[in-house]
């Protein structure tokens, strides 16, 4: 499984909700517009494809930031607590 931060800036509220729901299908919300996803290469393609079909390419942006195992283990937060990274977390997609 590969890990990514998926971050987005969506200008339309309807598209924003669709993007958030799609990301929830693949990962865990870390902040309002930031998700941690752990997916197989096939599921990564599915995620990108679904988001591509939702967003307006001229107005919106979605970033896929690949994360290494060591980067995940070094994750720090200040302010509100965040869930610790667990390499045994599993995402189930129905």
Return the domain boundaries, the chain: 2-69
Q: What is the CATH number of domain 2-69?
A: 3.30.70.240
Q: Does 9 count as an annotated binding residue?
A: yes
DSSP-derived 3-state class of residue 36: strand
Q: Which two tokens mark 30?
A: 């870390």
pLDDT in tens, the chain (94 residues): 899 999 999 999 999 999 999 999 999 999 999 999 999 999 999 999 999 999 999 999 999 999 998 887 887 878 877 666 555 554 444 4
CA distances from 28 to 25, 56, 58, 59, 71 (A): 9, 23, 27, 25, 17
The conformation of residue 33, written as its DSSP 8-state character, comes to T
């Amino acid at each position: 499984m590969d890990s990514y931060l998926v971050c987005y800036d969506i200008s339309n509220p309807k598209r924003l909700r669709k993007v958030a729901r799609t990301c929830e299908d693949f990962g865990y919300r870390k902040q309002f517009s930031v998700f941690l996803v752990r997916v197989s290469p096939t599921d990564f393609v599915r995620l990108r494809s679904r988001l591509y079909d939702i967003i307006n390419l001229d107005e919106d942006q979605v970033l896929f930031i690949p994360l290494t195992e060591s980067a995940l283990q070094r994750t720090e937060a200040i302010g509100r607590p965040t869930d610790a990274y667990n390499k045994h977390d599993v995402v189930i997609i129905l």
